[in-house]
Amino acid sequence: MSRRIWNFPGGIHPPENKQQSKGSAIRSVALPERLILPLQQHIGSPAKPVVMLGEKVLKGQMIAEANGVVSAHVHAPSSGTVTDIGDYPIQHPSGIKGSCIVIKPDGKDQWLPHEGIEDYKTVETNLLLEKIRNAGIAGMGGAGFPTQVKLSPPAGTEIETLILNAVECEPYITADDLLMQERAHDIINGLLIMAHIVKAKEILVGIEDNKPEAIHAMEQAALDTPVEIVVVPTKYPSGGEKQLIYMLTGKEVPSNALPAHIGVICQNTGTAYATHRAVVHGEPLISRITTLTGEAFAKKGNVEVLLGTPISHLLAEAQADIDNMSRLIMGGPMMGFSITNIEVPVVKVTNCILASSKDELPLPQAEQPCIRCGDCAKACPAQLLPQQMFFYAKALEFDKTQHYNIMDCIECGACSYVCPSNIPLVQYYRFAKGNIRKQALETRQADKSRERFEFHKARLEQEAAEREAKRKARLEAAAQKKADTPSGTLSTPAPAPQEDAKLLVLKTAAATSAKQFQQAKKALALAEKNAADNLTELQAKVTQLEAKADTAKTALREALKAQKTLAAETTPSGAKSTADTKSGS
Amino acid sequence: MDVLTAVLSILGLATVFGIVLGYAAVRFKVEGNPVVEQIDAILPQTQCGQCGYPGCRPYAEAIANNNEAINRCPPGGEATIHELADLLGVEPIPLDSEHGEEKARPTVAFIREDECIGCTKCIQACPVDAILGAAKLMHTVIAAECTGCDLCVDPCPVDCIDMIEVPVSLQTWTWQSPAGIGQINAELIPVRNIL
């Protein structure tokens, strides 16, 4: 153990509470009545269902396929029938329902034929990556990042160090601890497969010194392999990816960058185990180790549970005292979230179910004003300024929180833990981060709308221009046609406009006078009906208007006649050309 | 003599700087008014015309060139007014309710498709081409592209367009702010709650 351990700044030492669940071996859970499999159990886009309602599926059969690169397949954890594809409560703090596939197990637990790769060193890395992708493996530590994506770093980056994150620093959780104690060889093998894929020069396993049994088991399993077991002092949150990388290598992951940029990849213990199962046995990820702990559970411990198992089933299995249960938390007490519906299923990232009694996790104290003690800044493992971010988040000045690098906050909860005023700091940061993301999304949408609006305008302009061009073409064609007609017609168009104008005036006069006459007549009729006083006046008006309308009409008629004779005189060819001009106009 | 030298050197300097400035004015000429771009970037791009201008860009131009009031954009609401005030160095003013109220939640248009007669009037009204359909055939709204501007509602002769609120999805959900001083945060996250 000559390796140097870099100590990251900040951190806290909360009560560990790990003894409750680490006493017994991993046990299996009976098949539940139904399995609810969310399409989104990982970061990225939700998987796409590939099974039909009522379809019979076998254990390990793919029921939803990855949708895009950053996505993961979902497999049937047991054989049975697909009974529903719809919205069910899922593992989300909001309590919003998500799309799920529900399988009713038939009890036979019949596997789909599958086979593994005997010697992974002889096959190409692409094939191994494909195997991992086909198994639907996503980071099982909590974030759920698809593993094959993490194992394919961008071209040009060389991976120096592969780190297995076996720290498990969060209180209460012992799932990785037990997994290492019982299946160390498989984990080391999974780790070696990953190292083979990324061609890592150095393979490290980081374990906190509060897990002596696990350290011993892993050291035994790592004998005669290039894997080095590094014991790190217990401090929360040493299991944070960036914190662990710093502890083991002294390298800091830059803001807005991935560990791969500094030549490091970090993988979780459960993920390494799942990789081993996928490559060596050809088994997809259909179960995981989950810690059942908290005072409400009578049988605390770690269980190997099928994905999709409702928590209600686990509560019954571990004889939980539901009446005495004050809160049900998925994940640990530091970074987990409460769930209100016990039908939420276990998913790929569920490492712990904490069912606390009322005494164990009482309601938090009321928030008090900040006294600027600065304890939060001392505890922050990311070296941020929690106070400043808190003030600005509270004042809804989210751009200023960004100046204080709120996006680098890992939401570990160390600041909230030390705060003497009981300020729920992390909630404020989550609130600010959510709003920053929302604003970014709105800006993106606004840009898209702007683009579409500009395009819409351009399209309308183009259409108008096309119409104009067509109209011009038609006009020209008409003019051409006129020019092509026999001589003599050429003389008619000249007087025509003048004549037409005169005619138009007459026509309008006739129409107006006729209308006025009609209106007057109507008014008269109405007046007669109502027996009005001004009957004689109205009658005079009507006669006057009638006369006017008649004169206008005769004038128009005469004008028309004159025009016709004129046309007949000027065009010797007669009827044909008149017809032409008519149709032309 | 001294006076002449002084005058000549000043003249010389003036000529040199004049040439440099003249060259720079041509070489580094900025097309259009950059403030218009900045204002336009802040506006929500719903293209709804509630401000009285035919789209967000014309309104941005009016603010930049004609000192138009910055409180005429209901879809942007208070947030947009504050951003505009910051950008232009003026005091933020409350939203002018004459131009409409700020919506509490974003909306999208929804066509009740069995009632649609296929008149294409809404298609012509849509500023972002988010309605799909053809004459005498049913129309529908591409919800992802709809800005919720309401411009399609009025032209519809059979009133078959509803503005519906966009439901909060797993992707758009965000944490709420804690209740504040003196309040117990029986929140969803149990951070710090260990014994």
Residues of chain A numbered 439-498 and touching chain B (CB < 8 Å)? 441-442, 445-450, 452-453, 455-457, 459
- Residue A282 CA, chain-centre distance (Å), reads 31
Q: What is the pLDDT of residues A99-126, one digit of tens each?
A: 999 999 999 889 999 888 888 888 888 9
Helix (H) or strand (E) holding A357: strand A352-357
Q: Min CA distance, B182 vs chain A (Å)?
A: 5
Do residues A371 and A344 make contact, with C-beta atoms less than 8 angstroms apart? Answer: no
Residues sharing a CB contact under 8 Å with residue B31, sequence separation 6 or more, in sequence order: none
The β-bridge partners of A104 are A81
At residue A579, the pLDDT reads 42
Yes or no: say if A320 and A353 are a contact pair by the CB < 8 Å rule. no
The pLDDT score that the predictor gives to residue A494 is 47
- pLDDT value for A157: 85
Residue contact A453–B184, C-beta within 8 A: no
Q: Are B112 and B122 in contact (CB under 8 A)?
A: no
C-beta separation of B48 from B149 below 8 A: yes
- Asked if residue A265 lies in contact with residue A283, where contact means CB atoms within 8 angstroms, the answer is no
Nearest to B172 by CA among A435, A200, A16, A138: A435
A103 DSSP 8-state letter: E
**Cβ–Cβ of B190/A338 closer than 8 Å?**
yes
C-alpha dihedral sign at A64, A65, A71, A72: positive
How many Å apart are CA B146 and CA B131, to the nearest integer? Answer: 8
Contacts of B55 in chain A (CB under 8 A): 453, 457
CA B88 to chain centre: 15
Tell me the chain A residues in contact with residue B126 when contact means C-beta distances shorter than 8 Å: 456
**Residues A336/A350, Cβ–Cβ less than 8 Å:** no
Q: What's the token pair of residue A369?
A: 């004003």
> CB within 8 A of B7, min separation 6: which ones?
none
CB contact under 8 A, B174 and A366: no
Give the pLDDT confidence of A431-466 residue by residue, as tens digits: 999 999 988 988 899 999 999 999 999 999 999 999
User: In this complex, is the C-beta atom of A45 within 8 Å of any C-beta atom belonging to chain B?
Assistant: no
| CB spacing of B178 vs A424 below 8 angstroms | yes
Judged against a pLDDT cut of 50, whether residue A580 lies above it is answered with no
Three-class secondary structure of residue A382 per DSSP:
coil
Mean pLDDT of chain A: 87
pLDDT in tens, A234-273: 999 999 999 999 999 999 999 888 899 999 999 999 999 9
pTM of the full structure: 0.77
Summarize pLDDT for A548-559 with one digit per residue, the tens: 888 888 888 887
Higher pLDDT residue, B10 or A497? B10
Task: Determine what percent of chain B is predicted with pLDDT higher than 90.
Answer: 44
Q: Which residues contact A379 (CB under 8 A, 6 or more apart)?
A: A10, A11, A12, A414, A415, A417, A418
Q: Which residues contact B3 (CB under 8 A, 6 or more apart)?
A: none
Give CA separation, A120 vs A187, A277, A495, in Å: 15, 12, 98
Indicate yes or no: CB of A435 within 8 angstroms of CB of B129.
no
Cα A505 to Cα A301: distance, rounded to the nearest angstrom: 102
Least trusted range by pLDDT, from A16-25, A26-35, A77-86, A231-240: A16-25
Q: From its phi and psi, is residue A40 left (phi > 0), alpha (psi between -120 and 50) or beta?
A: beta
Residues 6+ apart with CB under 8 A from A16: A171, A172, A210, A234
Residues, chain B: 195
Spatial separation of the C-alpha atoms in residues A216 and B11, rounded to whole Å = 88
| Cα–Cα distance list, A80 to A52, A55, A171, A310 (Å) | 13, 8, 37, 16
Contact A267, A150 (CB under 8 A): yes
Q: What is the mean pLDDT of the segment spanning B68-82?
A: 89
Q: Quote the pLDDT of residue A340.
A: 85
In this structure, are residues A3 and A230 in contact, taking their beta carbons and an 8 Å threshold? yes
Instruction: Give the span between the Cα atoms of A162 and A205, in whole angstroms.
Output: 8
Report d(CA A555, CA A545) in Å as an integer.
Answer: 15
CA-based max dimension of chain B = 96
pLDDT digits (tens, 9 = 90+) for A368-423: 999 999 999 999 999 999 999 999 999 988 989 999 999 999 999 999 889 999 88
B35 touches chain A (CB under 8 A): no
User: What is the amino acid identity at position B146?
Assistant: C
Question: Does the CB of A435 have a partner CB in chain B at under 8 Å?
Answer: yes
Query: What are the chain B neighbours of A365 within 8 Å (beta carbons)?
Result: 184
| Residue B107 contacts A, CB cutoff 8 Å | no
Starting at the edge strand found earlier in the chain, the sheet holding A202-208 runs A227-232, A202-208, A161-166, A264-268
| Phi, psi for A27 (deg, rounded to 5) | -115, 160
Q: Is A515 on the interface with B (CB under 8 A)?
A: no
A411: left (phi over 0), alpha (psi -120 to 50) or beta: left
Helix (H) or strand (E) holding B109: strand B107-111
User: B37 — contact with chain A (CB < 8 Å)?
Assistant: no
* Residue A419 touches partner B, C-beta closer than 8 Å: yes
- DSSP assignments along A266-332, one per residue: EEEHHHHHHHHHHHHH---S-EEEEEEESTT-SS-EEEEEETT-BHHHHHHHTT--GGGEEEEEES-
Name the residue type at position B154.
Answer: D
Q: Give the DSSP H or E segment for A178.
A: helix A175-198
Query: Residue A386 belongs to what H/E stretch?
Result: helix A386-394
- Neighbouring C-beta atoms of residue B136, cutoff 10 Å: 9
Are residues A350 and A288 in contact, defined by beta-carbon separation less than 8 angstroms?
yes
Q: Confidence band (pLDDT; 50, 70, 90) for A500?
A: low
| The pairing of beta strand B131-132 with beta strand B140-141 | antiparallel
**Rounded Cα gap, residues A582 and A563, in angstroms:** 13
Helix%, strand%, coil% for chain A, nearest 5: 45, 15, 40
| pLDDT for A581 | 41
Chain position carrying tokens 């509630």: B50
pLDDT for res A570: 58
Contacts of B170 in chain A (CB under 8 A): 40, 90, 92, 94, 96, 98
Q: Would you place residue A10 in the very low, low, confident or very high pLDDT band (cuts 50, 70, 90)?
A: very high
DSSP class per residue in A29-86: -PPPS-EEEES--SSSSPPEE-S-TT-EE-BT-EEEE--SSS---EE-SSSEEEEEEE
Dist. CA A453–CA A457, nearest whole Å:
6
Collect all residues of chain A within an 8 Å Cβ-Cβ radius of residue B195.
15, 360-361
As a whole number of angstroms, the longest Cα–Cα distance in chain A is: 127
Q: Which phi and psi (to 5°) does residue A206 adopt? A: -100, 120
**Residue B177 backbone phi and psi in degrees, to 5:** -70, 145
pLDDT of residue A578: 42
pLDDT band of residue A213 (cuts 50, 70, 90) is very high
**Coil, strand or helix at A353:** strand
Within 8 A of A455 by CB-CB distance, chain B residues are 129
Give chain A positions within 8 Å (CB) of B130: 452
Please give the radius of gyration of chain A, using alpha carbons only, rounded to the nearest integer: 41
- The one-letter code for the residue type at B190 is P
B172 neighbourhood in chain A, CB within 8 Å? 438, 441
Cis omega (within 30 of 0) on the bond before A154?
Answer: no
Asked whether residue A172 carries a pLDDT value surpassing 60, the answer given is yes
Over 80: is that where the pLDDT of A492 sits?
A: no
- ipTM of this predicted complex? 0.80
Q: How far apart are CA A141 and CA A169, in angstroms?
A: 11
